[in-house]
Amino acid sequence: MSTVSTVNGGISFWYADRGTPIAREPLPGDSTADVCIVGGGYTGLWTAYYLKKAVPFLNITILEANFCGYGASGRNGGWLYNGIAGRDRYAKLHGHEAAVRLQQAMNDTVAEVVRVATEEDIDADIHQGGVLEVAYTPAQLARLKDFHSVEIAFGETDRVLRGARETGERVNVTGAVGSTWTPHGARLHPVKLVTGLAATVEALGVTIHESTPVTAIEPKHARTPYGTVRAPYILRCTEGFTANLKGHKRTWLPMNSSMIATEPLPRSVWDAIGWEGRETLGDMAHAYMYAQRTADDRIALGGRGVPYRYGSATDNDGRTQPATIEALRDILVRLFPVAAGARIDHAWSGVLGVPRDWCATVTLDRSTGLGWAGGYVGSGVATTNLAARTLRDLIQQDSGQSGPTELTTLPWVDHKVRKWEPEPFRWLGVHGMYAAYRAADRRELTSPRPGTDPIAKAADRLAGRH
């Protein structure tokens, strides 16, 4: 396998596949709107979509620093699935039943994204094969079984546990000793979804200005170098880039995630691997990997790599570190030795937003009209849609058009969390945590014991994850 010809960056493989779009016109000067959305990723676009569908005469402006889908929404692994960051903590804070409602809303959200994509004629290579998560060490198997039981306790009664043989019949992951599968997931092409959404909202009458970085968000004002948009509601939908905004350096930590995509693999390789159901595929490692079989028969596989850049810096148009490309390639070959000769066509990275308590949130501050959603910690492809429908309901409630709804009473609404530590503690903490996860993963690979390695447990506690 060679990485000599690997394209590194260029935003993502998904853009290499579709072509990088020409940016829409920037903001021409000062203007007004009913709702101004900062950030043209899934969160911003879905929010515009649902608001406009609910109130067609609403004047909505999206301000996007680059072009719609420049961020994680144009770079992700294409796992449309029902995981939401923070559910277990919300169960502790608000009770089990509240968290079950949140989980149910997420299960429904996967179906909702598929429904809208179909209705709006957005062809995003969606394949509803569910989510398969595999274990290949005794410790991973023990975690997998615990995970499976917990998910069932949160109402996922259609989730199944599979043994080694059954797992291998689905996807032939070397050394897999078991797996869990849920139907609440689909594989998709991230860029086809985000560009389709942008075109859809524009056709509905939403104004999109690209190449327009917002330099400050204040009540009723979004300021840019080209002018200021005044609106009663300003929604911050900048997720992993939030740290770049004035006053938000320590709000959400920009965590890196990196991916590689192989060349299209030949029939002989697929005969050996199987994966005919095109499930999204993950593992139970602490520094876990996520993968999909693309519509054109590549494997796109991601993982953490270098987790965080000092000072909350973000990447340069998706470039990742050569060592990360090697590490992801090693994972690919360990899982699928039969793909060892495949060319790695593309490698890239992106940032996702991590709050200090690792809980996704959606909020509308009624006193200022400022709203935001994010902190999805890498589970945002579906969660952004739930966040958007919730922001719609919160705005409608605030403007007197409706009362509380099922969505506005979910436990992640209006959740508050403290900021991250200043540097160098932030950098030391995150790098220490991932060094511990990697050490734990290495030890679990050779350990016959079923328990999670104590180093990983300590890292979880220190990071405030559990």
Task: Please state, in angstroms and rounded to a whole number, the distance separating the CA atoms of residues 351 and 328.
Answer: 17
CB of 179 to ligand FAD, least distance (A): 18
In 3-state terms, the chain is what percent helix, strand and coil (to 5)? 35, 20, 40
Placement of tokens 């290499």 in the chain:
16
CB of 65 to ligand FAD, least distance (A): 3
**101 φ, ψ (degrees, to nearest 5):** -65, -40
Which token pair is 31?
A: 């203007």
Query: Is the CB of 72 or the CB of 459 nearer to ligand FAD?
Result: 72
Query: Is the CB of 110 or the CB of 440 nearer to ligand FAD?
Result: 110
CB of 315 to ligand FAD, least distance (A): 9
Query: Is the CB of 350 or the CB of 429 nearer to ligand FAD?
Result: 350
DSSP string, 411-447: TTBT---PPPPPTTHHHHHHHHHHHHHHHHHHHHHH-
Neighbouring-strand partners of residue 351:
256
Query: Is the CB of 105 or the CB of 259 nearer to ligand FAD?
Result: 259
Query: Is the CB of 12 or the CB of 137 nearer to ligand FAD?
Result: 12
Task: Please state, in angstroms and rounded to a whole number, the distance separating the CA atoms of residues 85 and 79.
Answer: 14
In whole angstroms, how far apart are CA 438 and each of 195, 281, 333, 455, 466?
36, 20, 18, 10, 18
CB of 268 to ligand FAD, least distance (A): 28
CB of 254 to ligand FAD, least distance (A): 9
Closest Cα partner for 416 from 104, 89, 46, 179? Answer: 89
CB of 446 to ligand FAD, least distance (A): 29
**What residues make contact with ligand FAD under the rule CB under 6 A?**
38-44, 63-66, 70-73, 75-79, 213-214, 237-241, 244-245, 257, 259, 290, 302, 350-352, 374, 376, 378-382, 384
Task: Please state, in angstroms and rounded to a whole number, the distance separating the CA atoms of residues 364 and 405.
Answer: 14
Query: Is the CB of 81 or the CB of 336 nearer to ligand FAD?
Result: 81
Helix axes 138-153, 425-446, angle to 10 degrees: 110
CB of 15 to ligand FAD, least distance (A): 12
Buried b (16+ CB within 10 A) or exposed e, 140-158: bbbbbbebbeebeebbbee
Q: Which amino acid is at 177?
A: V
Query: Is the CB of 72 or the CB of 265 nearer to ligand FAD?
Result: 72
Query: Is the CB of 289 or the CB of 339 nearer to ligand FAD?
Result: 289
CB of 28 to ligand FAD, least distance (A): 16
CB of 297 to ligand FAD, least distance (A): 18
Residue number of the CB atom closest to ligand FAD: 380
Query: Is the CB of 283 or the CB of 444 nearer to ligand FAD?
Result: 283
Q: Which residues contact 267 (CB under 8 A, 6 or more apart)?
A: none
Q: Which residues contact 3 (CB under 8 A, 6 or more apart)?
A: 322, 325, 326, 329, 344, 347
Angle CA 243–249–253, to nearest 5 = 60
DSSP string, 195-210: HHHHHHHHHTT-EEE-
Query: Is the CB of 103 or the CB of 137 nearer to ligand FAD?
Result: 103
CB of 22 to ligand FAD, least distance (A): 15
